[in-house]
Amino acid sequence: MIVSEQRLLVRFFKLGSLLALVGSMHILTLLLPWYVVRADTISRSLLSGYLLTETLMFSVAGGMLAGISLLATSFSSRAGTVRIILAAFSILGGVLALLSPVYLSMVVLPRLNVSGEPDLGFFAALFTAVVLVALGLMVVLTRPQKVEVPYPQYYGEQEPAMSSSVPEETSLERVENVEDETVCPICYTTVTAENAVRCSSCGVVFHQGCAEAYVNINGTCPNCGKTVL
Residue type present at position 212: E
Applying CB under 5 A, among 8, 30, 223, 228 the residue interacting with Zn ion is 223
Applying CB under 5 A, among 19, 184, 197, 215 the residue interacting with Zn ion is 184
In this structure, are residues 125 and 54 in contact, taking their beta carbons and an 8 Å threshold? no
Applying CB under 5 A, among 186, 195, 208, 212 the residue interacting with Zn ion is 186
Cβ at position 189, least distance to Zn ion in Å: 6
**Which residue lies nearer to Zn ion by CB, 164 or 190?**
190
Cβ at position 182, least distance to Zn ion in Å: 10
Stretch that binds Zn ion, among 64-72, 113-121, 198-206, 212-220 (CB under 5 A): 198-206
In this structure, are residues 100 and 106 in contact, taking their beta carbons and an 8 Å threshold? no
If one asks whether residue 207 binds Zn ion (CB under 5 A), the answer comes out as yes
If one asks whether residue 201 binds Zn ion (CB under 5 A), the answer comes out as yes
If one asks whether residue 224 binds Zn ion (CB under 5 A), the answer comes out as yes
**Which residue lies nearer to Zn ion by CB, 120 or 187?**
187
- For the chain, what's the residue count? 229
Cβ at position 185, least distance to Zn ion in Å: 8
**Which residue lies nearer to Zn ion by CB, 130 or 204?**
204
Cβ at position 10, least distance to Zn ion in Å: 27
Cβ at position 163, least distance to Zn ion in Å: 22
**Which residue lies nearer to Zn ion by CB, 128 or 223?**
223
**Which residue lies nearer to Zn ion by CB, 127 or 152?**
152
What is the DSSP secondary-structure string of the chain?
-HHHHHHHHHHHHHHHHHHHHHHHHHHHGGGSEEEEEESSSS-EEEEEGGGSHHHHHHHHHHHHHHHHHHHHHHH-S-HHHHHHHHHHHHHHHHHHHHHHHHHIIIIIHHHHT-EEEE-HHHHHHHHHHHHHHHHHHHHHH-PPP----PPPP--TTSPPPSSTTPPPEE-EEE-S---TT-B-TTT-SB--GGGEEEETTT--EEEHHHHHHHHHHH-B-TTT-PEE-
If one asks whether residue 210 binds Zn ion (CB under 5 A), the answer comes out as yes
**Which residue lies nearer to Zn ion by CB, 126 or 221?**
221
| Relative orientation angle of helices 2-28 and 53-75, to the nearest 10 degrees | 160
Residues contributing to the site for Zn ion (CB under 5 A): 184, 186-187, 199, 201-202, 207, 210, 221, 223-224
